[in-house]
Amino acid sequence: MSCSRRAGTHNKARTEAGTDEEYRNWAWLDARLTDTGEAQAAALGPELLLEANRVEVVLVSPLSRAIHTGLLAFPAGDASPPFEAVEDLRERLGSHPCDKRRSKAKLRADFPGVNLDGLLTEEDTLWREERESQHDLAARAARFLGALMQRPERRIGVCTHNDFLVALMRKSGLRVPRKDRSSLFRNAERRAYLLQAEAAAGSDPADGKAARSGDGGDGDAGGSGSHDASREE
């Protein structure tokens, strides 16, 4: 599994304003990539071009900045793997309009090559005024991990968001980045992991473990989890 985080206009606005209150500004509804974010995502292209023929599918958060990151990072044309939007890959839900998705019709108009069939409702019915709890975020990460282990593909790209990535790492048995900003996921950073699922009857597929197999980053989020494996993603 190759993971990448995106860079949005809401992050730039928050930095310029100097307050987290900027995240509650409705001007950043489903925030898009900044010019810098676009350049960072495109810069992943040469690295991902080498593995584009091996990645069988790219799963993306349905938030525009994550979809755009994936489309810029992976090569267009015949070499491009298929893209699927997955609701569970969204950033932590609620409170921040930048984390509220647009309608399927609007996403389809902007990203016609992305499969949106996994979005079960036309409008965003998951976003609430209150912030999603860490418990619910962890449950969502576990649900995604379980679904991932049931997919037929062996090599999967994922474009998502920092809070979700941290929750996913916890569920995968990896070390979580320290609070120090230098060890968090950087914008448009790629990290690759080998996920191994136990095939024993009655086992929980969301209990899969992961070992870091390579990345383009600083190594602080790496780690390993021992697990009897019969399958790789």
pLDDT for 82 equals 93
- 158 is in which domain, residue-wise? 2-232
pLDDT band with cut points at 50, 70 and 90 for residue 222: very low
pLDDT at 189: 65
Q: What is the pLDDT confidence band of residue 166, given thresholds at 50, 70 and 90?
A: confident
Rounded alpha-carbon distances, angstroms, from residue 215 to 3, 13, 104, 135, 183: 9, 29, 32, 28, 13
Whose CA is closest to 143, among 202, 87, 190? 87
- The mean pLDDT of 122-131, rounded to a whole number, is 94
| CATH code (residue 42) | 3.40.50.1240
How are beta strands 114-115 and 190-197 bridged, if at all? unpaired
Q: What end-to-end distance do the CA atoms of the chain give, in Å?
A: 6
Residue 96: pLDDT over 50: yes
Domain count, the chain: 1
pTM of model > 0.85: no
Strand duo 156-160 + 57-60: pairing? parallel
Rg (C-alpha) for the chain, rounded Å, is: 17
Would you place residue 201 in the very low, low, confident or very high pLDDT band (cuts 50, 70, 90)?
very low
Residue with tokens 């950033």: 91
Average pLDDT over the chain, rounded to an integer: 75
pLDDT reported for residue 225 = 28
| The amino acid at 207 | D
Q: Between residues 127 and 229, which one has the greater pLDDT?
A: 127
Is the confidence at residue 122, as pLDDT, over 50?
yes
130-165 burial code (b ≥16 CB/10 A, e <16): eebeeeebebbbbebbbebbeeeeebbbbbbbbbbb
pLDDT digits (tens, 9 = 90+) for 28-82: 799 888 888 888 888 877 777 666 567 899 999 999 999 998 898 887 777 788 9
Percentage of the chain beyond pLDDT 70 is 63
pLDDT attached to residue 101: 95
Q: Could you report the per-residue pLDDT of 177-199, keeping only the tens digit for each?
A: 565 544 456 666 677 777 776 64
